[in-house]
Structure 1
Amino acid sequence: MKQLSIKHITNLHSDSLRGLDFYAQELGILQERLEEILADNTNKEVAVQVEHFQNEFIIHNNAIDELKSSIHENNNNIKDQISEFDGSVEKITISDNHNLHEDYLTEERLFNELRHEFYRFASKWM
């Protein structure tokens, strides 16, 4: 049977949570830039793009919050199971951990794509 170190899982959780905190802060910065662009440009094309990015920022902010909550829940489940099952963790919990890490990597990729798209937009209108 393949064993997975709890320390490895804890490190993945910590790394993911730090990354999500960074992306949440980055969303705040991007929102400020978006507001600057809107204040400087009354063009209808700009307004449409601003609305697009505001919607994307809301979606990513919600995804970040949900992922952080799921990671904390998974971490608590692992801690509870270690105490309850004498150091063992159910396979489903490990599977959930793997899925959460994949979700984090997906969010990271999607966020970076959005950030690059926003920078292209911002360079045109700032």
Structure 2
Amino acid sequence: MLILNIENYHTEMEESIDMLSFYNDEISSLEKRLQEVVEKNTKQPILAQVEHFQNLLVVQKEKFAQLKHDIQRQKVRMKEYVTKEKEPLSDIQVNSHKLREEILMTTKIFTETKHTCYQFLAKVL
């Protein structure tokens, strides 16, 4: 039963890493589209909005990198639990739950940012 929980957590962490990598790809695409806006517009209000979205995307990339780091650290903890029972399973479960909540919140924020950015791009391109 305990090993099964660890396997489930490990699978979830792997899927989260894949998801964050996909989101980073989406950010790259959005950054390219925003650069197109800069190249086609010189109006200050539009450029200010571009800068706003660029800043939001930088923050998201940093958050994704931090989450990937946290996930890798959690995977090490899980491996140590399986091999050495170095840390109580309850601690791993609590940390996995916190990490899951943080991933969900970050995903929600990114999705909102992405949709708002797409709305802006639709107006100006």
Instruction: Supply the AA of the counterpart residue of 2:99.
Output: L
Indicate the residue corresponding to 1:105 in structure 2: 104
CA separation in 2, counterparts of 1:20 and 1:89?
A: 28
2: CA distance, partners of 1:122 / 1:15: 30
User: Secondary structure in 1 aligned to 2:69?
Assistant: helix
C-alpha distance in 1, partners of 2:6/2:62? 28
Aligned residue in 2 for 1:119: 118
CA distance in 2, matches of 1:104, 1:116: 18
Asked if the contact 1:78–1:93 (Cα under 8 Å) also holds between the matched residues in 2, the reply is yes
User: Separation in 2 of the partners of 1:110 and 1:7?
Assistant: 28
Cα contact 1:82–1:89 (8 A) shared by 2: no
* Pairing 1:26-45 to 2, within 5 Å after superposition: 26-45=26-45
Shift of 1:85: 2.0
State the distance in 1 between where 2:56 and 2:30 align: 11
TM-score by length of 1: 0.92
Task: Give the TM-score of the pair, scaled to structure 2.
Answer: 0.93
1:85-96 equivalence runs, <5 A: 85=85, 89-96=88-95
Query: Between Structure 1 and Structure 2, which shows a larger proportion of helix residues?
Result: 2
Alpha-carbon distance, 1:90 to partner: 3.0
Please give the alpha-carbon distance, in whole angstroms, between the structure 1 residues aligned to 2:102 and 2:22. 16
Identify unmatched segments of 5+ residues in structure 1. Answer: none
Shift of 1:84: 1.0
1:89 is displaced (CA, Å) by 4.1
CA distance in 2, matches of 1:61, 1:85: 34
Residue deviations 1:21-78 (CA, integer Å, cap 9, x gap)? 0001110000000000110011111111011011101100000000000000000011
Q: Could you tell me which amino acid in structure 2 is paired with residue 6 of structure 1?
A: I
- Identical-pair percentage: 27
Alignment partners' CA distance in 2, 1:14 and 1:75: 9
In structure 2, list runs of 5 or more residues that go unmatched: none
Q: For 2:74 and 2:85, how far apart are their aligned partners in 1? A: 16
User: 1:78, 1:89 within 8 Å by CA — same for their partners in 2?
Assistant: no
Q: Deviating runs (4+, > 2 A) in structure 1? A: none
Which residue of 1 is the match for residue 20 of structure 2?
20
